[in-house]
Amino acid sequence: MQEVLSVKNLCKSFNQVIALDDFELRVKEGELFGIVGPDGAGKTTAIKIFCGVEKKDAGDINILGYNIDFNRELINREIGYLSQKFSLYGDLTIDENIEFFAKIHGVKNYKERREELLHFTRLTPFRKRLADKLSGGMRQKLALASTLIHSPKIIFLDEPTNGVDPVSRRDFWGILSVLLKQGITIIISTPYLDETERCTKVALVNKGKVLIQDTPAKIKDVIKENVYEIVCSPVREIYKHLKKRFDQMEIQMFGDRLNVLTSIPFNKVIDEITSQGYKVIDSRKVLPSLENVFIHMMTEAYE
């Protein structure tokens, strides 16, 4: 597969704030590529630069073989962009919004394509409804349909499921899986590490830098320590005790359980908990997650 996005040494600052610092990406045709990181990591800035909404300070970017410094118009014909904020027109219906974007992109015979997209996103029964009257999930489907009206080869999606209910999030990812089968390259940014498990490739990003990019499985291979899940009580007190007792241990707290990444023998960890009079309800070894990798790499960076 050929490379459809190549980013080298991309830099961008806003006054004294560095948004992107030698940011690099490589995306191949037909991939579902996830850019994941916390708020302020640089995800939105990068996608805006790729789509021509922001200007870069430095770096080389090629999209579909075109350099963005010289071929912006050609690139724009071949890409679609769904911004982080709902950017359609609330006083227009679903039909009218899609028609508007078809005309912007110069799509003359758009009606058949619009019918396909409405059916595909299951918006046909609501086509006469104003965009302002749609739920969050339906708005994102409308935004995606408008993004696809000119049949782009690549679509850039900036945190499309942020603030959307779980059912709509699932439906949206189902739609993306169909687009992937149609050969469309999808580049999506998200703060949700669990979503990137669905991606072909993933880039973990923090403070404007790409920490690592690869398949989810290969990224998880970074973790050499054991990962344990411990259901215990009182969980907050146990968390504080283990953090104090084992300063190299990486611990996350989820409700009534701890996710522990450590090279310390498991029985020693359990003995440490029970010796303090605390209760261990259940415990097991689990596979590393992308969240484990991200926190592990962040911890190493600050040591």
Structural domain contains residue 56? yes
Q: What's the pLDDT at 195? A: 85
pTM for this entry: 0.87
Q: What's the pLDDT at 197? A: 87
Q: Starting at the earlier edge strand, list the strands of the sheet with 17-28.
A: 17-28, 3-14, 58-63, 66-67
Structural domain contains residue 292? no
Q: What's the pLDDT at 86? A: 64
Inform me whether the pLDDT recorded for 301 exceeds 70.
Answer: no
Which CATH number fits the domain that encloses residue 259?
3.30.70.100
pLDDT in tens, 56-111: 999 999 999 999 999 999 999 999 998 877 677 888 999 999 999 899 888 888 89
Which CATH number fits the domain that encloses residue 180?
3.40.50.300
Q: What's the pLDDT at 32? A: 96
Q: Which domain holds residue 283?
A: 226-287
pLDDT in tens, 99-155: 998 998 888 888 999 999 999 889 999 999 999 898 888 888 898 899 998 999 999
Say yes or no: 199 and 234 in one domain: no
Say yes or no: 168 and 262 in one domain: no
Structural domain contains residue 300? no
Say yes or no: 184 and 90 in one domain: yes
* Confidence band for 201, pLDDT divided at 50, 70 and 90: very high
Say yes or no: 181 and 39 in one domain: yes
pLDDT in tens, 20-39: 999 999 999 999 999 998 88
